[in-house]
Structure formats: structure tokens, C-alpha cells
Amino acid sequence: MSDAPATTANVMEQIVSLCKRRGFVYQASEIYGGLRGFWDYGPLGVLLKNNIRDWWWRNMVECPPIGPDGKIVDMVGLDSSIIQHPKTWEASGHTATFADPMRKCVKCGHILRADHYWDILATQSKWFADLMTTTDNGTKTDADTLIRWVKNKARKSAPNLAAVSHPTVTPPLAPDVQALVHALADGNEPCILCGGPLGTPEQFNLMMISYAGLQQTAENLVYLRPETAQGIFLDYKNVLDTTRVKVPFGVAQVGKSFRNEVTPRNFIFRSREFEQMEMEFFCPPDDALMWYDFWRNERMKWWLTLGVKAENLKFREHAQDELSHYSKATVDIEYKYPFTAPDFGELEGIAHRGSFDLTQHQTHSGQKLDYFDQELQLKLKAEGVPDDQVKARSRYIPNVIEPASGLTRAVLVLLCESYRHEKGRQGTEEYLSIKPRFAPIKAGIFPLVNKEGMPEVAEKIYLDLRQSFTCEYDPKQSIGKRYARMDEVGTPYCITVDGDTLTGQTVTVRERDTMSQERVSIDKLKLFLTDKINS
Ligand code: ATP
């Protein structure tokens, strides 16, 4: 694969534009002006998303890795309801604590997330971008330059900035962007839109609400789930009672989640409706740390199988004071997104949730959720452990290790990772170097010319191959244009029927990244593609 990393400043704009142009991702409700934080996955986006989802399901549910004890891991799937009993969210702590701090502009009313203020300012504020240009990224901050900027540009783009009302500025002593912004805003953090002062941070609950029932009353109030995990906890006992799994075992699910994010941003990175891939692994308390280590390593290996480069991924351990209320230890797997580079942003969290969730649901529901571990009982007895201890230790509430990732964030990662812009490349300078397994379309099938018996042969090949792979038949325009169209959406192979096909029963197969071509006989095509796609 070509090696041009996605690090240029406007690379995100190019990716967003390609996604729109070629039908990967559209803004939701675009004809009505769009709805902030909501996105539609177009014909190619849904294929890419489903390919990632299916690979996760295959590797987590159908073929999970062999456990650290050398045993086959028990894993089952689930598809729980998006709306659950409201008590679920009281028990989980979401109604009380699932909140982000937000600040509101005193002048224009714009609301933003307080703990991400500097990131949001750097990526979304027009006046700040202009300030950075004028001051050479905060390095040229003499009083003359700043006052000229305030009197001319800021007056229009940031009319409520404190310095605009009294054009005197004391420049920061050293180049420091935050000090510069404070100097222009009387020591405050100014609004990213109008420059006005922001109010003090207030907690804002992120759960979206709806009503289940005829009347919109408090009794009928329900929440759209902010994570898929709780559905798994609610069905933990059902799964134990109706399948052959025993602790340790995992339950996995993929599905939509909703969060009323204060500041949805960075394309599909942070949206208000998104999809998650989560697995809850129930294990004996004594083994929880072993499983925590196991899953964090397995999950990192999994991201590498998507074709994400190791240097673009890293672990970030949560500090004690950062841990969620339920967690005993958490590590994030982070990716170097174009908008965070050279820093990294979250992609997946692996949390040791202890017995918090099941204990809470046991208390709030009144249903017993403990587990009698017969194997452990026999083992402890054989070790000569005293009877009272055997009894106490072999009945427990399982601990939970949770790898939780975003499916829609994974789509973004694959788009960023595979986006290439190569000056002077034949056909199209922009293409997606997606690993064949995840490419939305695996092969484009073309007759070289739309006559002389070629379309009939190409169509026959297409009808045969589409039984096994997602393919596209395209008889129109020059062959170069057809290659370019396929490269742009990441199609790894293009198959061309030409004059020689009719006599020799072979076709040309062109590979996307190298643009190299080879002749393959028609009867070997399916095997050829299967090998390449599964490798
Ligand atoms: P963040 O710190 O980015 O808000 P989080 O720690 O709250 O994320 P989790 O609750 O651990 O996220 O959710 C698991 C995963 O779900 C995240 O790692 C991310 O991939 C995905 N995710 C969470 N919130 C969003 C969102 N608003 N939009 C898209 N994906 C999300």
C-alpha cells in the first residue's frame, strides 16, 4: 500500500467532501438545512460500516480469541431494545451522573462543552482562525498588530470580544495562544462565535428523552439508550438461564446509541446518534485483572487487523481521578485523527467495571443476580480451602470487563487511515487504500468497449461474481475514468474484458494501489479474488 499519511491541515475537509461526493456519508436532513450531530450513511458508507461490523462480530462472537487460560472463550450475541425501563438508568447511575459541563455565551447564547473549550476554539472558530493567521499562530503578538486586528477584523468577526469595546491590549509576555486569547477577552474564555464572555460551567445530562405511551407524562418518560451495555446487564440472567454458557463468558452487541452531545463535531467522530460495538465479559472476581489485561491486548490486535498502522494507535491509561464512577481501571485505545494530530483521540475504551452494574441492577430490581460457580467450588475443595471460605468464594456477583468501541468512529478511522492524495497520480489524485476485506465494492467489472461482444461477457462475469462479492458493472466512459471512479471509493480490483478475452478466456485484473495489471483466466477469477480479499 502507498504510504502517504493523512496529516495535512485540510485533509479532513477533503475526506468529508469525498464522502459526500461519492455517497459514503451525508448530512442528515440536508434538504431542510441539516440537523447538527446527525449523519446518514449512503450506499457506500453502509457497505463499509457493515463490513467493519461483520468483522467485529466474527472476531468477537463467532471466533473469539483463545483465552489466557488456553480455553475456548464462551461468547454469545444479543440485540436488546434501545428503550429500556427507566429504572435501568437510575441503577446504572446515568440519570444522576451522565453529564458533561457546558458553558453558555452571555451575549449570543451559543452553548459549548466546557472541558473541550480550547479544542473547539481551534477547530471551529472563524475569528480565532483569522487571529492565528494574523499573528503567525500566536508568535507575532506586539500591541500594534493586535490593535490593528481588533479594530479591523475582530470588529466584524468577533463583535462581542472585550478588546473590541475598549481597543487596548496588553500582549502576553511570551508566545502563548491561551494567554493571547485571555488578553483579548479580559481574562475570560470568549465565545467561539461572537467573542462574548462565557458563563460558568453547568452540568448538562446527555440522555435523550422520549415518551412511551399515549400521554407525555412523567410516568411515560423513557430514555434512548446512551450505551448498548445496559441492555446486556439486564439480559445477563436470561442468557445464563437459556444457553449453555458458564462464567467466564461474554455477551456482545452492536447497535445505535444516543447522546445529546453539547458540541457534536469533527464530522462523524462525535455525533448525537451513533453505533457502538460493545462486549461485557462476566468473570470471577479473582480473575478479573487477568481478563482485563487479556482484552486490552486483544482489542489492540484487532484494530491492527483492519489495516490501521501501529504508529497511529496507542493506549492511554485513565488516571484514578478520571475513572468513571463504576470503574476500577480503564484504558482507552486512541487513534491519531487528522484533527487531533500530533495528538490522539479516543476510539475504544476497555473498562474493568467490577461488579458495579450487576450489583446495582440486583438492588434496584430485587432480582438475584449472583452466580454459583460449581467448578470453583470443586477446585477450592480440592485445594483444601476451609468449607466456610469455599462457600463464600464460590457464590459471587461476576466482575465485568468491557471493551466498548464506536462503529461509526471506526468508519471514520478507516476513512482517515486509507485516504491518499498523491500529486500527479494517473486518473485521480485522491483514492482510498482500504484493505480489500473492508472495501465497500470488491471489484469493478468493465467491458473495454461497449460493443464487439465484450459487454455480454463482462455482464456474465459480473452476474457470477456478485454471488460472492459486492461488485459493480460499468460499461460507460473511458477505461481510465472508470478506474479513477473505482480508486476514489477504494475498490481494490478492476476486471476488464478486452479483445483477448474473447479468444483466450482471460481478463485483465488491475490492482488499485500499485495500478499493476495481470491476466487471470475467467474460471480462476473467483478463487483469485477470494484469496486476495481474505488475506
Ligand atoms: P468520549 O470521551 O469521546 O465522549 P466516552 O468515553 O464517553 O467517549 P464511551 O462511553 O466509553 O465513550 O463509549 C464507547 C465508545 O463509543 C467510544 O470509545 C467511542 O468510540 C464511541 N462514542 C462515544 N460517544 C460517541 C459519540 N458521541 N459519537 C460517536 N461515537 C461515540
In short, whether 257's Cβ falls inside 6 Å of ligand 1 is no
The SS3 assignment for 351 reads strand
- 166: confidence class by pLDDT, cuts 50, 70, 90: confident
pLDDT at 174: 80
Residue 292 C-alpha to ligand 1 middle, in angstroms? 19
Is pLDDT at 7 greater than 80 in this prediction?
Answer: no
Answer whether 228 contacts ligand 1 (Cβ < 6 A). Answer: no
- Is the confidence at residue 2, as pLDDT, over 50? no
* Among 409, 411, 415, 416, residue to substitute to test ligand 1 (most atoms within 8 Å of Cβ): 409
Query: Does the C-beta of 45 come closer than 6 Å to ligand 1?
Result: no
Average pLDDT, integer, range 277-294: 96
Would you say residue 3 has pLDDT above 50?
Answer: no
pLDDT band at 170 (very low <50, low <70, confident <90, very high): confident
Choice among 222-236, 268-282, 315-329 with the minimum mean pLDDT? 315-329
Question: 273-283 and 249-258 as β-strands: parallel, antiparallel, unpaired?
Answer: antiparallel
265 vs 226: which has the higher pLDDT: 226
Q: Ligand 1 pocket check: which of 225, 346, 401 to mutate, most ligand atoms within 8 Å of Cβ? A: 346
Instruction: Compute how many other C-beta atoms are within 10 angstroms of the C-beta atom of residue 325.
Output: 10
pLDDT digits over 185-218, tens only? 999 999 999 999 999 999 989 999 999 999 999 9
Neighbouring C-alpha atoms within 13 Å toward the C-beta of 162? 18
Q: In this structure, which residue's CA is closest to atom 21 in ligand 1? A: 406
* pLDDT score of 326: 76
From the CA of 403, how far away is ligand 1's center (Å)? 12
pLDDT tier for residue 172 given thresholds of 50, 70 and 90: confident
| More confidently predicted of 531 and 535 | 531
- Residue 396: pLDDT band with limits 50, 70, 90: very high
Give the Å distances, CA to CA, from 284 to 116, 281, 362, 471, 493. 38, 10, 17, 47, 48
Q: Residue 266 corresponds to which cell in the numbers above?
A: 469533527
Tens of pLDDT, residue by residue over 404-449, are: 999 999 999 999 999 999 999 999 999 999 999 999 999 999 999 9
With a 6 A CB cut-off, is 119 part of the ligand 1 pocket? no
175 has a pLDDT exceeding 90? no
Tell me: pLDDT of 110 over 60.
yes
Give the length of the chain. 535
The predicted pLDDT at position 428 comes to 94
- Ligand 1 centroid, distance to 413 Cα (angstroms): 14
271 CB near ligand 1 (under 6 Å): yes
Alpha helices, H only, 253-386: 288-305, 356-365, 374-382
Counting ligand 1 atoms within 8 A of each CB, the residue from 265, 276, 314, 315 with the most, and so the one to mutate, is 276
Determine the distance separating the centroid of ligand 1 and the alpha carbon of 485, expressed in angstroms.
Answer: 33
CA 5 to ligand 1 centroid distance, Å:
25
CA of 122 to the centre of ligand 1 (A): 21
- pLDDT value, residue 9: 53
Residue nearest to ligand 1 atom 18, measured at CA:
348
Please report which confidence band the pLDDT of residue 1 belongs to, taking 50, 70 and 90 as the band edges. very low
> Rounded mean pLDDT of 441-462?
96
Q: What is the 3-state secondary structure (H, E, C) of 158-180?
A: CCCCHHHHCCCCCCCCCCCHHHH
* Residue nearest to ligand 1 atom 20, measured at CA: 406
To which residue does cell 485516504 refer?
Answer: 419
CA distance 432 to 297: 28
The percent of residues in the chain predicted with pLDDT above 90, rounded, is 89
Output the CA 404–ligand 1 centroid distance in Å. 8
For atom 29 of ligand 1, which residue has the closest CA? 270
Cα 28 versus chain centre, distance: 18
Ligand 1: residue whose CA is nearest its atom 27: 270
Per-residue pLDDT, averaged over 19-30, amounts to 97
| Cα 276 to averaged position of ligand 1 atoms, centre (Å) | 8
